[in-house]
Amino acid sequence: MVRSLLTLKDIEPEEFTEMVNRAVYYKSMIGNKKMVVPVLKGKYAGLLFEKPSTRTRTSFEVASERMGGHALYLSSDQLHLSGGEPVKDVARMLGGWLDIMVARVFAQSTLEELKKYSGIPVINALSDSEHPTQMVSDFLTIMEKKKKFKGLKMTFVGDGTNNMANSLMLACSMTGIDLTIATPDAYQPDASYKAFAEKLGKKAGSAITVTDNVHDSAIGADILYTDVWVSMGEEAERQKRLEDFKGFQINSGLLKLARPDAIVMHCLPAERGLEITDEVIEGKQSVAWQQGVNKIYGAASSIEWAMGY
């Protein structure tokens, strides 16, 4: 069965929960250096990355090898994509050689083309629109720390327009977590993602709230989450964004407003002193490093799902 994970919109809430459960399994096995079913035995996984990566690249490479496959790292300049070769031409060739593709790209449309013309499973390892595999590993982390999803309150502080905000709206709505997005008025979440997530939330009993009041957003939160203010591809807007997001920071003062047992999450890399302070990310309530390590188990679960196991 050929199926691709390009967006969480394409999967049912039950499937997402099962992917998280499978990530739990893979952590119990890979995390303890135990053998797993060789889902990729004799197969080749191509990692096509237009954007650099530390955690996502390494986690997918190691997961592929642990699952019996061979991983090939393919940067866009190596494939002449940066030189103007059409995505569909590259996709046709890679589809003839590879068994699965993991793509970290700028445009969501690039993923759609890779899927259409390659004929093999394609996994979204981050696009400007979404980061679905991050959600699998993040929700593994939440399950480990909170033992449940439904009824929790998460507050995302930062850029409401970015791929993490989109992804969290979908994942929280599928699992019954109430999500508050604290963001400046000029950085409102994508309306189509918000509408889609709200439909899911009605079934799961969760809600999405958007506010520019950082103080109130953190009160009683079980989870505080943030991401960089300036994402890859937005460097030209850096100075403006640094001004716009002043005050939208997770610091010790904000953390005190959350529940005493609240956890702090960051998808990394972090710019300490901007969206989060060094004190908080290094503090006892931070699970950022646990999140990062858990990415390999989210990667394994995503590969298993895409290969139809």
pLDDT digits (tens, 9 = 90+) for 48-105: 999 989 999 999 999 999 999 999 999 987 877 767 789 999 999 999 999 999 999 9
How many angstroms separate the CA atoms of 203 and 258, rounded? Answer: 26
- Residue 216: predicted pLDDT: 98
Spacing of C-alpha 215 from chain mean position: 25
pLDDT tens-digit readout, 195-241:
999 999 999 999 999 999 999 999 999 999 999 999 888 889 999 99
250-281, pLDDT tens digit by residue?
A: 999 999 999 999 999 999 999 999 999 999 99
Does 305 score more than 80 pLDDT?
yes
- Give the strands of the sheet with 223-226, arranged side by side: 208-211, 178-182, 153-157, 223-226, 263-266
Kindly report, residue by residue over 144-202, the tens digit of the pLDDT. Answer: 999 999 999 999 999 999 999 999 999 999 999 999 999 999 999 999 999 999 999 99
Residues 187-200, buried b or exposed e (16+ Cβ, 10 A)?
Answer: bebbeebbebbeeb
Evaluate whether 170 touches 199 at the Cβ level (below 8 Å). Answer: no
* Tokens 């494939």, located at residue: 79
- For residue 269, cis peptide bond before it (omega within 30 degrees of 0): yes
**pLDDT value of position 79:** 78
Other beta carbons within 10 Å of 205: 12
